[in-house]
Amino acid sequence: MNPIRSLATLVMLAGSLLALAACGGGGDDTGLSGTIEIDGSSTVFPITQAVAEDFYILHPGARVNVSVSGTGGGFKRLITGETDISNASRRIKDAEAESAAANGVEFIEMRVATDGLSVLVNLDNDFVECLTVDELHLMWSPGSTINNWNQVRPSYPDQELRLYGPDTDSGTFDYFTEEINGESQVSRSDYTASADDNVLVQGVGGDKNALGYFGFAYYTENTDKLRAIAIDNGAGCVEPTVETIESGEYAPLSRPLFLYVNRASLDEELVAEFLRFYMGSAATLALEVGYVPAGDEVYLENLQAAGL
């Protein structure tokens, strides 16, 4: 075999494999076809993924593409009209709304669920029931030197305190620091940080001195390994539960989750149908992935606002 020819054969092999791939695919059509492009928050992603999965079963001819670029990254693409829908774990900022207007992109905000952050300790920790926001601030403020539980509250035992939390890229980090330290992204940095909530579950679950925080969704999956503690925001201790998060009573560590829809995309029947389906199934699916549904009237209002 001539070596050059074999190299050329390999190039052709690669090419024909691609051609072969091009012939595959193509599903059944139920009338609806086309593409919906969605990007944005990793916090909202599990709900949107669940909706897209169920929607695909009904409409296999349609393509619902979901990426995860973060809330800010998603807005960047919504603003330029590149995406139809943006997942967001915060409201759109004024600056972002202004650039959208400058680009002639109109959008509609739709509340879809509520996310609660939980503060967690190890199951072997039997002395912490409830912490105030001030105590959390004491532990997590930048430059904090608290490293023993009895520095948090004198009645706690003389026991080392080790902190766990999401890393600085996470929306959960932004949200927690904003609420507890008064400014987003401001936190002490000498804690065990991971972008992977799984690592945090393992960390806090295996360390009796630990205190950590992450999304309520992850806590509900791991109640056998961790214990969530109640938060006192000045009006008494409130435990994170589906009820207290939906009512907003569990403050300040619960936050609304949104979809931002490009108004121009509503003219496409596929996007309209997807949103009708989304609002109809969000209550069930949000619960399924660990968030708190927004309430039926909210979903109806969303559809009315979009004229659907």
Partner 1 sequence: MAFADRDRRFRPKLPRRKRWGTAVYAMLVLSILVGIVGLVTLIAQVVVEGAGWLSFGFITNFPSRFPERAGVWAALWGTVWIMGITFLFAVPVGVGAAVYLEEYAPKNRLTRLIELNIANLAGVPSIVYGLLGLAVFISLLGLGRTLLTGGMTMGLLVMPIVIISSREAIRAVPSTYREAAYGLGATRFQVVIGVVLPQAVPGIMTGTILAMSRAIGEAAPMIAIAALTFVTFAPTGPMDRFTVLPIQIYSWVQDPREGFSGLAAAGIIVLLVVLLSMNAIAILIRNKTQTRSEE
Pairing mode, strands 230-232 and 237-238: antiparallel
Q: Out of 107, 140, 213, 218, point to the residue binding partner 1 (CB under 8 A).
A: 218
Q: Rounded to the nearest whole angstrom, what is the least distance from the CB of residue 18 to partner 1 in the complex?
A: 5
Q: Out of 14, 186, 237, 305, point to the residue binding partner 1 (CB under 8 A).
A: 14
* Segment interacting with partner 1 (CB under 8 A) among 60-68, 149-157, 178-186, 271-279: 60-68
Rg (CA), the chain: 23
Q: Out of 6, 30, 147, 223, point to the residue binding partner 1 (CB under 8 A).
A: 6
Q: Is 273 in the site for partner 1 (CB under 8 A)?
A: no
Q: Rounded to the nearest whole angstrom, what is the least distance from the CB of residue 70 to partner 1 in the complex?
A: 10
Which C-beta is closer to partner 1: that of 80 or that of 147? 80
Q: What angle do CA 201, 143, 170 make, to 5 degrees?
A: 40
Structure-block tokens of residue 297: 């009237």
Q: Is 103 in the site for partner 1 (CB under 8 A)?
A: no
Which C-beta is closer to partner 1: that of 67 or that of 247? 67
Could you say which residues in the range 113-172 bind partner 1, by CB under 8 A? none
Q: DSSP characters for the chain?
A: --HHHHHHHHHHHHHHHHHHHHHS-----BSB-EEEEEEE-TTTHHHHHHHHHHHHHH-TTEEEEE---HHHHHHHHHHTT--SEEEESSPPPHHHHHHHHHTT--EEEEEEEEEEEEEEEETT--S--EEEHHHHHHHHSTT----BHHHH-TTS-S-B-EEEEE-TT-HHHHHHHHHHHSSTT-----SEEES-HHHHHHHHHT-TTEEEEEEHHHHHH-TTTEEE-EEESSS-EE---HHHHHHT-S-SSEEEEEEEEEGGGGGSHHHHHHHHHHHHHHHHHHHHTT-EE--HHHHHHHHHHTT-
CA distance 82 to 67: 12
x/- string (CB under 8 A) for partner 1, residues 165-204?
Answer: ------------------------------xxxx--x---
Q: Is 22 in the site for partner 1 (CB under 8 A)?
A: yes
Which C-beta is closer to partner 1: that of 10 or that of 237? 10
Q: Rounded to the nearest whole angstrom, what is the least distance from the CB of residue 163 to partner 1 in the complex?
A: 19
Number of residues near partner 1 (by CB under 8 A): 52
CA distance 158 to 150: 5
Q: Is 289 in the site for partner 1 (CB under 8 A)?
A: yes
Q: Out of 34, 67, 138, 184, point to the residue binding partner 1 (CB under 8 A).
A: 67
Which C-beta is closer to partner 1: that of 25 or that of 104? 25
Could you say which residues in the range 26-55 bind partner 1, by CB under 8 A? 26-27, 35, 37, 39, 45-46, 48-50, 52-53
Q: Is 63 in the site for partner 1 (CB under 8 A)?
A: yes
Interface with partner 1 by CB under 8 A: which residues?
A: 1-4, 6-7, 9-11, 13-15, 17-18, 21-27, 35, 37, 39, 45-46, 48-50, 52-53, 56, 60, 63-69, 73, 77, 195-198, 201, 218, 221-222, 288-289
